[in-house]
Amino acid sequence: MALAVAATLSPGLARANEANGDAPPLVGVVTVERKEILMTKDAPGRIAPMRIAEVRPRVSGIVLERAFEQGGVVEKGAVLYRIDPTQFQIDLDSARAAQAKAEANLFQAARQEDRLKALLNGQTTTQAQYDLALAAERQAEADVMAQKAAVRRAEVNLEYATIRAPITGRIGRALVTEGALASENQVLPFATIQQMDPIYADFTQSVAEMSALKEEMERGGFKPKEGAVRTRLILENGKTYPLEGKLLFSDVTVDPGTNQVTLRAQFPNPEALLLPGAYVRVQIEQGVRANTITVPRQAIQRNNAGGAEVFVVNDQGRAVLQPVRLGRTLGDQVVVEEGLHPGNRVVVEGFQKFMSGGHVDPRPASRGRTEAERG
C-alpha cells in the first residue's frame, strides 16, 4: 500500500528536506463533492440457455445417417438423424391393406342393411333379421375407424424414423453414430440443442441485501430508476459484455440453505459470445442516490487495525490521514459514508513522495473525474 511506502521515509529525513528548502512534492488530488450517483450491485452468476432440448428417438431401429454439423446452428424442423424406415414402411402398407379390407366389409354390410330395410317396410322380413344387419353395419364402421387409427399410427412411426430438431438453436456434439441401435426408451440422448439468443444469466442476492435496499428506498436514500432495470455482464476475463440486458424476475422463494433468492436477467447474444455454464458477474442498477461522496479506490489506505483512511491536504498544505467509514464499491469508486466533506482534497497519486503530515504541492489528479461520474 502507498501508506507502507510513505512510512519508510523517516521523520528526520522529511524535516531535513523541509529545512533545506526543498520544494514540496507534487501529488495528485481530487476535490470531494456531493453528487447523484447510480447505485449498482454486482453478483456472481452463470449463463443459462433460454431453451434446451435433448434429441431422443421415439422409435427403435438402426441409425442410417447423421444429417447435421456438430456445433452448428439448426433450425426447428431440420433433419438431424434418419433411422432405417423399412420396418415402419411395411407396417404402414399392412395397415393400409387392413383398412381397405375393413372398408370392403363395411360396403357389404351397408348394402345388406339397405336390402333388409326395404324388405322390412314390405313386411317380407322380420325385425330381428334387420337388427342383425344393422349391427353388422355398425361393427363394420367401427372396424374401419380402428384400421384408420392403425394407419395413422404406422404413418407417425414412419415419420419418427426421421428425427428432426424440436427447437432452433446451437446443437452440441453427436452422441451416437451411424450403425448404432436406437431405442425409444434409451436414456442417452442423441444430441442436445440449446437456444442461445437471447440468453439468460442467473444470479442470487441475499434477503438481507434486498431488505436493506428496500429500507433505504423507503427513507428516500434511493430513487428507483425509471424504466426497466438495466443489467450488465462482467466476463470472466474482466471485460464488460458490450450489450445491455434487462432484469426479468426475482424468485418468490428463499433458499433455506443460503437465505438467498434467485434472479434472472436476459441478454442478447447474436454472436454467441456467451456460452451456457460460463461464470460471469452480473451488475444490476438498483437506483439513484443523491448527495453521495465517492473517492477513487486507490485513495483508500488501511491502518494496522484494518480501518480505512485517506490522505487529506489541509489548509497548511500538509497531507494528513483522515479516518473514513466506507460504503459500497462502484467500479473504481468507493462510497464514503462518514469522514469527508465537500471541498476536501484527497490524495490519489504520489503517495511514495511524502509521509503523513508532510508538506505537499496538490495538483488535480491526471485521471480526472470521468470515472467517478457513474450516475
Write the CATH number for 6: 2.40.420.20
More confident residue, 5 or 356: 356
Q: How far apart are CA 223 and CA 213, in angstroms?
A: 11
In DSSP notation, 193-208 reads EEEEEEEEEEEEEEHH
What's the pLDDT tens digit per position in 143-155?
999 999 999 999 9
Angle in degrees, CA 331, 364, 349, rounded to 5: 60
Containing structural domain, residue 335? 2-39+291-372
**Within a domain: residue 246?**
no
**Within a domain: residue 150?**
yes
Task: Indicate the helix (H) or strand (E) that contains 111.
Answer: helix 86-121
Contact in structure between 191 and 69 (CB atoms under 8 Å) = no
User: Could you tell me if 30 and 102 lie in one domain?
Assistant: no
Please check the confidence at residue 95 and state whether its pLDDT lies above 70: yes
**Within a domain: residue 66?**
no
CATH of the domain at 150: 1.10.287.470
CA distances (Å), origin 127, targets 107, 115, 120, 138, 141:
21, 13, 7, 17, 21
What share of residues in the chain are helix, strand, coil (percent, to 5)? Answer: 30, 40, 35
Into how many domains does the chain fold? 2
Please check the confidence at residue 369 and state whether its pLDDT lies above 60: no
Q: How far apart are CA 352 and CA 80, in angstroms?
A: 66
Q: How far apart are CA 168 and CA 74, in angstroms?
A: 6
* The pairing of beta strand 26-31 with beta strand 361-364: parallel
User: Could you tell me if 91 and 156 lie in one domain?
Assistant: yes
* The pairing of beta strand 181-182 with beta strand 61-66: antiparallel
The owner of cell 494528513 is 320
What's the pLDDT tens digit per position in 290-306?
788 899 999 999 988 88
What's the pLDDT tens digit per position in 219-240?
555 555 555 567 889 888 888 8
Last residue of some domain: 160, 185, 213?
A: 160
**Within a domain: residue 128?**
yes
Last residue of some domain: 118, 134, 160?
A: 160
Write down the pLDDT at residue 314: 92
Nearest by Cα to 24 from 354, 320, 345: 354
Please check the confidence at residue 156 and state whether its pLDDT lies above 70: yes
Amino acid identity of 362? P
Q: How far apart are CA 298 and CA 107, in angstroms?
A: 95
Whole-number percent of the chain with pLDDT over 70: 86
**Within a domain: residue 229?**
no
**Within a domain: residue 133?**
yes
Mean model confidence pLDDT for the chain: 84
The total number of residues shown for the chain amounts to 375
**Within a domain: residue 17?**
yes
Please check the confidence at residue 11 and state whether its pLDDT lies above 50: no
Nearest by Cα to 36 from 292, 335, 223: 292
**Within a domain: residue 296?**
yes
Cα 116 to the center of its chain, rounded Å: 73
| pTM greater than 0.85 | no
Give the mean model confidence (pLDDT) for residues 304-318: 91
